Structure formats: structure tokens, C-alpha cells
Structure 1
Amino acid sequence: MGKMRRIGSAMVATAAVVVATTAVSGAAHAATSAPHGTAGATVESQVAGLLKYNKGAKRIAADKVDLGQGAIATVHPGSAVSPAVSVSLCSFRHGDAVGWLCLYQNDNWGGENLDLTVCTNVNLSTKYMSNGRPWNDQISSIDNDQTSNVTSVFYNYDGSGDPNSSSNWQVLLRLPAGHYLRDLSKDKSLSNPPGGYANDKIDIVHVC
């Protein structure tokens, strides 16, 4: 099982995903000009892709795009970020954005980043990465930075019937607020039959 932490308390054994009801505070006064150099060009390219593939999306910062339904996409050119374990990863990368559920494309917080900020169910197949690929079956690490005593749930769509009906979902993970999973390729899923791993399998997120 991957490492999980509760801020200021002991590790737990189960995982589940939740998103806070926190609004996107601070976005309005965030810088909207891109950084300079190669990294800046990469950011601009990825932001352009996010705007292209997500209908109605809006750029709200140099590296952030609002995809709607409380989903914020953030691009992070370069290597994965590994802050001290005592520092909330969402807070580390987003400043005052405490209360968000942060999903990452790669393990150890690498690749593109999708933050869920509204309490709802999110079908990840309706949100697109900068390369046009939908976010479902792409998640490899998670940080649940909520402050409330809630648990988020991650599901796999079984491939038949209405994908928006919970009767067609299988539970993969449960992650309480204040916990994270660095590498889903090492975390056993809860689906039936049991076993296997949750990496690149998440289709639906019950934020809270």
C-alpha cells in the first residue's frame, strides 16, 4: 500500500477520494502572464491545449485553466515536486488553495494536475488534458487536502450502461481528508474481484 498521511496524526490503511467545497479563492488576483524561457513556452503550449480541448474552459492564471464543474487544471513543466512530508502537497503547489482534492497524471505528483474544488461527482471522461486525452484512466497519485472529516471515493466504470449511473461503478479507492497516495501502481484496489492496482483506472470521483 502506498504511503498515506493525516496531517498531525498517524497513517491509516484505507484510501478514498474527496473534494472540498472550497471555491477557487485567489484565482482572480493570480498572475496571468506566462513565465519566460523554455518552461514558459511549455506552459503556454499546454494551456493552449487545455483551452482547445475543454469547451468553455477559461484561463485563470499563468498555469491554471478552469474546466468547469469545479475542476481546475494546472500544468507543471519539469520534474515531480517532493516537499517535506509535513507540508500539504496541494498547499505546496497552490499556495492558499487548502481544501482541494488534487489528482496527478504521474506518480509522486508528476505530470499534469487536476484539482477538484466542488462537492459533486465528476466523470473524468468529460475533462481533457492538454494533449486532448480525457482524464479518466490517467490518475497515478492523489492528495486529498480537505480540512473536513470527509472521505472521497474513486470509481472505475464497468464499461456497460450509463456511465453517470452509480450502479455501473466499482469502488477502487477510499481516501479520507488529510491523506495522500504517492503511487497508485502500489495501491491495491477495492474492486471486485479484489486485487490489482488502482493506477490509471479511475473514471469517476465522488468528491464529497
Structure 2
Amino acid sequence: MAFSLVTTTALVIGVNIAPAQAADSAAGAATSASADVARILAANPGSRQLNASDVELEPGVIMSVPESRTADFGIQAGTCTYKYLCLWSGANWTGYKLSLTRCGWTYLQNYAWPNGGDWRDKTTSLVNNQTTGVISHFYDSDIYGNQLYLGPQHSYGYRANLAYDTAAVGGSWDERMDDILVC
């Protein structure tokens, strides 16, 4: 009987501790997300906060904080809104996300990274969730400013880890993207 009493006591203590730990974890995630959003807003003049995890950098361009930091807000990894082209800094649709919906040239140097620098050479996975028939084209830039074609991505297509995708100019696509012709 002593054994079951000890076991029961341990379970009761475990149950009492778990909610406190979960609350601390949720508070830490919210604080990290808030700090990330604050850095994004500060680094991108003219941007505006849309919600707890998203900042509109300019019309048609939204940056989101890493998915793991917004788990408490119900965001799922790999979520890309219909009619958007979404880029992630991590493989398998994780990390910071940049969502683009305007057709035309997008120069990633125009969007400041929350921890310094800009979005050039940061993309490791993507989803093209634009309308049927839309193709986006991706480019790298060499040290002379010449555009080097990485390749296309058709609508409803995705690339989970650009390290495994061969670029038209050789090598992989991973962390090479500088300019995008959206649509």
C-alpha cells in the first residue's frame, strides 16, 4: 500500500506542476514572438503589425515570426494563404516566413531581417499557393550584380528543402534567392 500511496502522490504533484510549466512555456513563446515582431517593425520603417505574429512590410508583403514561437496562436507549419507565394528561412516550412501576393519583381534586399541584414540568401523552403497557371521565377545575384536563374515554381507547388533542389545555374537553391519574379 505504501507503494501505491507514493505513486499516487507523485502523480498528483506531476499534475499540479504541468499546468504551471505549460503556462510558463506559453508566456515565453508569446514574449519571444512579441520581441521578434518588435524587431521586424523597427527594422522595416512603414511596416505595420497585423496580429501577434504577422507584420505587413508593404502592401502584398507579410513577414511572420517563426511558427514554433506562435504555436499557442494556432498557426501550423507550412501554412500559406491562397494566392500567396510563401518563403521560409528553415527547411520543411519552419522559421521566419515571407508571404508575397503582388505580381512583379520582388527584391529581397528591400526587406530587413529581424536580427540584421535582409532576406537575401535566407530562403530554405517555399510554397507557391497562387492561382492556377501562375509560375514564379527565382534568381540569385553574383558579386557583379548579374542575375543567375535558379528556376521556376508552378502554382500549387512546393519545395520542402531547397538544399535538395538543383538550380539551373548549378548547385542548390538553398539560401541563394535574391530576386523573385512573382506571377
Q: TM-score normalised by the shorter chain: which range applies? A: 0.7 to 0.9
Contact 1:50 1:132 in 2 (8 A): no
1:131 to 101, 115, 126: 115
- Residue matched to 1:9: none
Residues 85-100 of structure 1 correspond to what in structure 2 (within 5 A)?
89-91=78-80, 97-100=81-84
2: distance between equivalents of 1:50 and 1:107? 21
2: distance between equivalents of 1:124 and 1:182? 20
- Residue matched to 2:171: 196
Flag structure 1 segments of 5+ consecutive residues without an equivalent.
1-35, 82-87, 92-96, 162-167
Match for 2:177: what amino acid? I
Give the structure, 1 or 2, with the largest relative contact order (CA under 8 Å, sep 6 or more): 1
Secondary structure, counterpart of 2:167 in structure 1: coil
2:151 to 173, 198, 206: 173
- Return the structure number with greater strand share: 2
- Residue matched to 2:10: none
Secondary structure, counterpart of 2:79 in structure 1: helix
1: distance between equivalents of 2:166 and 2:103? 26
2:164 to 183, 186, 190: 186
2: distance between equivalents of 1:129 and 1:40? 20
Summarize the Cα distance change of 1:62–1:73 in structure 2 as closer, same or farther, 3 Å threshold.
Answer: same
Secondary structure, counterpart of 1:185 in structure 2: helix
Contact 1:184 1:198 in 2 (8 A): yes
- Return the structure number with greater helix share: 2
Match for 2:28: what amino acid? T
2: distance between equivalents of 1:129 and 1:110? 15
Residues 32-64 of structure 1, C-alpha deviations (whole Å, 9 max, x = no match): xxxx51110011010011011111111111110
> TM-score normalised to the size of structure 1?
0.69
Match for 1:197: what amino acid? S
2: distance between equivalents of 1:147 and 1:113? 20
1: distance between equivalents of 2:124 and 2:63? 15
Residues 95-114 of structure 1 correspond to what in structure 2 (within 5 A)?
97-114=81-98
Q: How many residues align?
A: 153
Flag structure 2 segments of 5+ consecutive residues without an equivalent.
1-25, 72-76
- Residue matched to 2:22: none
- Residue matched to 1:85: none
Contact 1:63 1:75 in 2 (8 A): yes
Contact 2:87 2:98 in 1 (8 A): yes
What is the aligned-residue identity percentage? 31
